[in-house]
Structure 1
Amino acid sequence: TTLPDDAYFDTWITNNALTLLDRAPDDRPWYLEVNLQNPHHPWDITESMHRWYREPSVEFPLPLFNTEDIAPETHQEVRRNWAATVEHLDSCLGRLVARVCARGDLDDTVIVFTSDHGEMLGDYDQWQKLSPLQASVGVPLVIAGPGVVAFGRADAPMTTLDLTASFLEWAGLNPGDDLDSRSLVDYLGARARRHRDLVFSGLSAWRMVFDGRFKLVRGYDPAKRIGGDVFEPMHVPLDETERLQRERPQLLTMSPLNFPRSFSG
């Protein structure tokens, strides 16, 4: 883009968020939601964001299982721009956290960072979102603040739906039992060993169930190169996938990966 840095949309959003932070009350709780746009197609970046990533020495892995007629150099350019948007996002978050700290509110503020979807970036010939594969449905969820035990990475299944009940509980309200959302507060405070056994997702014709290690998908469009039931193992080396494929019929019968009766697909 030819836009200057201060007119770039995530910079503009961050500047406005900082203004709202400055207006936040000092004598009562406040809530601020900041919806940054990147990283997102078409990965448009400013000249200064592009400057470092144009170096030939900066190389990124090429997409997995990609058969498209796209030159490797083009894939590299796309991934450089994607990385530049991630770096800019990080700088925006840094500015926001620094302002919370400057207000003296850091020790009393729960900070949550997440996303609404992932990005395929050419893996399996797919781009953007809409896929049940992990690069699309898997999103970061980073939470820090009072009552949150710093235990590093957590692989327990959870969903962004759970943030609704969590925010209500952090605000001192009872989420009730009628929500699909389940509060993360006890899990984050190390008062619960596990949050959920399964998470579900779906879009159009496909439905997915995931237990934190294995994922089963039904109804996925065969035109997406992966037809029928998709069985996607997590954290498994590539050389193990053939063995898992042989064991797939047995794995599909494992509880709790059997679909509930209400889970259509």
Structure 2
Amino acid sequence: DQDYGDNWIGRQGVRLIQNAPNNKPWFLVVNFNGPHSPMDVTKSMRERWRDVISFPMPVDSDIFTEEENIGIRQNYSAMVENIDSWIAKFKQEIERRGESNNTIIVYASDHGEMLGDHNRKNKCVPWQGAVNVPLVIAGPNIENQEEIKHPVSLIDLYATFLDIAGVQIPKGVDSVSLKPVLERKKKVSERFVRSGLWNFRVVIRDKYKLVVGYRPTKTWKNEVKIFLKGLIRGQHHKKVRENKPIMLFDLANDPDELNNIAEDNPEIVMELKKNLLSPHLKDQ
């Protein structure tokens, strides 16, 4: 366990908190590797999940056997649990320093994990398993155990941190401060939240999600080939501009993204298409 990657990272995080200055503000980012393929865990981590076998099978998928699915999700759960234990250690160290009343803790991820859904592993796809990530924020003046279901973006952390620190947010940035929402001074306003990678772009507003430029294939290798081919020819940006192909999902009624309703909802598609790109990119 001592040499396991995330445990080494966790120890460095604790050390940095212990050595943080006492007489001025400090900011720390700890980047854990997990949970991530190849889903390697230690013997003790695996042992705690050995008897847990009740996991859902992947959605719209035949990529794993039931036994393979259980093993992968056991390891994935063990990795998440291990990181949670380190977050607890960070919190304990902050309390020991007497700084709980002026420290904000943020738990987030740069991407999700498909775990076999839609016949995909890992990331790099527009499905919710990959683009929908956790965002947990705790600290003074933040409502306890409040769940916000409206979509926000990771880039909002930029404006949020500046706002909390009392620093003016630069004009013209896409980042929106969540500080008033965390303090329950206002609700999350309906807005367009964007994502994208390679040849696809995503825009979400309320319950509707538009995906442009992504053509599902039977295997991950095929999608990599399509990406590399498009990269060489410079076609990715063109595909987004041409709005081909298009998928629209109602995440409230179809969270597994099984039914493309774009053809039946041209008005919604049109509204979302207008906001597919950030205002800074529309003229590029």
- CA shift, 1:179, in A, is 1.6
Q: 2:76 is matched with which residue?
A: 82
- CA shift, 1:249, in A, is 3.5
Q: Name the TM-score, length of structure 2 as normaliser.
A: 0.82
Q: Give, in whole Å, the separation in 1 of the partners of 2:254 and 2:168.
A: 43
Taking a change above 3 Å as real, the CA distance of residues 145 and 123 of structure 1, as seen in their structure-2 partners, is same
Q: 2:5 is matched with which residue?
A: 9
- CA shift, 1:262, in A, is 6.8
Runs of 5+ consecutive residues of structure 2 not aligned to the other structure:
220-243
Q: 2:273 is matched with which residue?
A: 259
Q: Spell out, residue by residue over 1:117-161, the C-alpha distance to the aligned partner (whole angstroms, 9 max, x if none).
A: 000000010011111111100000001112323361101221001
Identity %: 34
Q: 1:143 is matched with which residue?
A: 137
Question: Is the aligned partner of 1:191 residue 2:205?
Answer: no
Taking a change above 3 Å as real, the CA distance of residues 17 and 120 of structure 1, as seen in their structure-2 partners, is same
Work out which of the residue numbers 157, 161, 184 in structure 2 matches 1:163.
Answer: 157
Question: Is the aligned partner of 1:35 residue 2:31?
Answer: yes
The range that moved more, 190-199 or 82-91, is 190-199
Q: 1:110 is matched with which residue?
A: 104
- CA shift, 1:19, in A, is 0.9
User: Is the 2:59–2:256 Cα contact (8 Å) retained in structure 1?
Assistant: no
SS of the aligned residue for 1:210 comes to strand
Count of aligned positions: 255
- CA shift, 1:37, in A, is 1.1
Q: Give the AA of the match of 1:118.
A: G
Q: Give, in whole Å, the separation in 1 of the partners of 2:258 and 2:201.
A: 22
Q: 2:251 is matched with which residue?
A: 234
Taking a change above 3 Å as real, the CA distance of residues 237 and 254 of structure 1, as seen in their structure-2 partners, is closer
Q: Name the TM-score, length of structure 1 as normaliser.
A: 0.87
Q: 1:127 is matched with which residue?
A: 121
- CA shift, 1:176, in A, is 1.6
- CA shift, 1:169, in A, is 1.6
Q: Give the AA of the match of 2:54.
A: E
Runs of 5+ consecutive residues of structure 1 not aligned to the other structure:
none
Q: Give, in whole Å, the separation in 2 of the partners of 1:203 and 1:117.
A: 11
Taking a change above 3 Å as real, the CA distance of residues 190 and 8 of structure 1, as seen in their structure-2 partners, is same
- CA shift, 1:73, in A, is 0.7
Q: Give, in whole Å, the separation in 2 of the partners of 1:147 and 1:134.
A: 31
Taking a change above 3 Å as real, the CA distance of residues 20 and 254 of structure 1, as seen in their structure-2 partners, is same
- CA shift, 1:248, in A, is 4.6
User: Is the 1:117–1:137 Cα contact (8 Å) retained in structure 2?
Assistant: yes
- CA shift, 1:96, in A, is 0.8
Q: Give the AA of the match of 2:56.
A: P
* Deviating 4+ runs (over 6 angstroms): 238-242
Q: Give, in whole Å, the separation in 2 of the partners of 1:238 and 1:139.
A: 14
Work out which of the residue numbers 56, 62, 66 in structure 2 matches 1:67.
Answer: 62
Q: Spell out, residue by residue over 1:232-265, the C-alpha distance to the aligned partner (whole angstroms, 9 max, x if none).
A: 22232689977xx6x654434138843117748x
Work out which of the residue numbers 30, 44, 51 in structure 2 matches 1:48.
Answer: 44
